[in-house]
Each structure stands twice: as C-alpha cells, then as structure tokens.
A = this chain, B = another copy of it.
Amino acid sequence: MRQVQAPQDPPAKAFALPKDPTQRAWVAIQRFGPALLERVETRLKTAGFPALEWYDVLWAIEREGPLRQRDLAGHMLVARYSISRLIDRMEAEGYVSRRECPEDGRGQMIHATTAGLKLRKAMWVVYSKAMRDALAPLTEKEALQLAALLEKLA
C-alpha cells in the first residue's frame, strides 16, 4: 500500500487546492485515495488481521478457483515477484498451498486451505464495515459516479 496517512498523528491541516481541474483531481487521487486505503487497512490491522492483499488473494481464489501466480498478479495489478513473496508468507502461515500446474511445468496452482477460507470470512466482517464507513460520506449515486470516473482512468 502506498502509505500516505500518518499513523502517528492525525494532523488535519488545510490544503491549498489547485484551481485547474486536472491538477485538482490529481491532488485528490494522490492524497485522499491512499489516505482512505490506509484508514481501512488500519482497521484490519488493529483487529489483528493481515493486510488487504491477503484478502484479495484469498477472495480471488475463492471466486475463480485455484489460480496461477501470473493470474493473481494480473488481478491485483502487482509485480510477479511481489506475488511470489506474498504467497511465500501466506503459505508459511498455512492459508494457501502451492501445487503443481498440470499443463505448464513452470507454473503452479495456488489453492486456498480451509484456514484460508476461514480467514477471508473473518476478515470480511471487519473489512466490509471499514469500507462502508470510509465511503459513508457518499450517497449510493455518488459512489457509482466515483467508480465510473475511476474506471474510465484504467
């Protein structure tokens, strides 16, 4: 997570917002996006849960079945070596397991263990609440608008 919110203090200072629309949008993306993410991650962490990426991996596997690292990287927009090490850690904790990939000797299928499925469910309780709180200032309509605008940028 590109960290951006101060974990130590909540300084809350006023910002000089640029007048130019593009710049103003950029500043908002650069500042408030990451700050928002961090707010949610902090909730997870203080609840004793691992980072969001762990959730993302487990959820992707739960939705689509065992996946290759390549596909996980694709889903999460993360570099391959990041996934490799993330899986290392998750495997060490017993949440996923690597098994060989039948149709490609290089690859491997990442499976979720029972503990993994359980972890994802438990995380969702905290995660969904934190997410909703973070987006509470927006109406449903605004949330959709925001999503649409960001999707346009992908």
Contacts and interface: CB of A to CB of B under 8 A. Distances in A.
Interface of A: 1-9, 11-13, 15-17, 21-37, 52, 63, 70-71, 73-82, 131-132, 134-135, 137-138, 140-147, 149-154
Contacts of A140: 21-22
Given A21-B144, A30-B37, A147-B28, A4 B76 contact: yes
Contacts of A135: 22, 25-26, 153
A44 B34 CA distance: 19
Nearest to A23: B131
A79 B8 contact: yes
Contact of A2 (B37, B134, B152): B37
A142 to B, nearest CB: 6
A12 to B, nearest CB: 8
Nearest to A127: B26
A34 to B, nearest CB: 6
A22 B131 contact: yes
